[in-house]
Amino acid sequence: AKELLEKESNVQPVRAPVTVCGDIHGQFHDLIEPFKIAGNAPDTNFLFLGDYVDRGYYSVETVTLMICLKIRYKDRVTITRGNHESRQVTQVYGFYDECMRKYGNANVWRYFTDLFDYLPVSALIENTIFCLHGGLSPNLDTLDPGQRA
């Protein structure tokens, strides 16, 4: 997944029509609903705007599915980074604790948070609609589509 994500720009181009989804927060069963309503990934474009982990009980399963969908349907599924895809936030809101509870160590948490560093921060639908999770970080030097954060 890292190899795929590190090639992507900070501003991901997305084709319309597209189904746009916000915060999932570890609610794996809720994540399945957009696919039931809008159609499956091979036939539908999806844009997910971050916050895949924390708060819910199934953050590991949720983010694993998101990454698998991205790898399998890279031209149909776009995933961006939310504020919960960071080490500090996940240590406060539950993802770290979930990984420790399920796996007995921090390795899975570490692998995912390292991967989060490669997620793009925004998307641009049909060169017209700019989408991101929240505000832009003041530490972000550029949104140049050819550059990484």
Q: Write out the catalytic residue numbers.
A: 84
Cα 136 from Cα 49, distance rounded (Å): 13
Question: What stretches of 22-59 adopt beta strand conformation (E)?
Answer: 45-48
Identify the burial level of 20 via C-beta atoms within 10 angstroms of its C-beta, where 0-12 means exposed, 13-18 middle and 19 or more buried. middle
Confirm if 90 and 84 have CB atoms less than 8 A apart: yes
Cα 17 from Cα 19, distance rounded (Å): 7
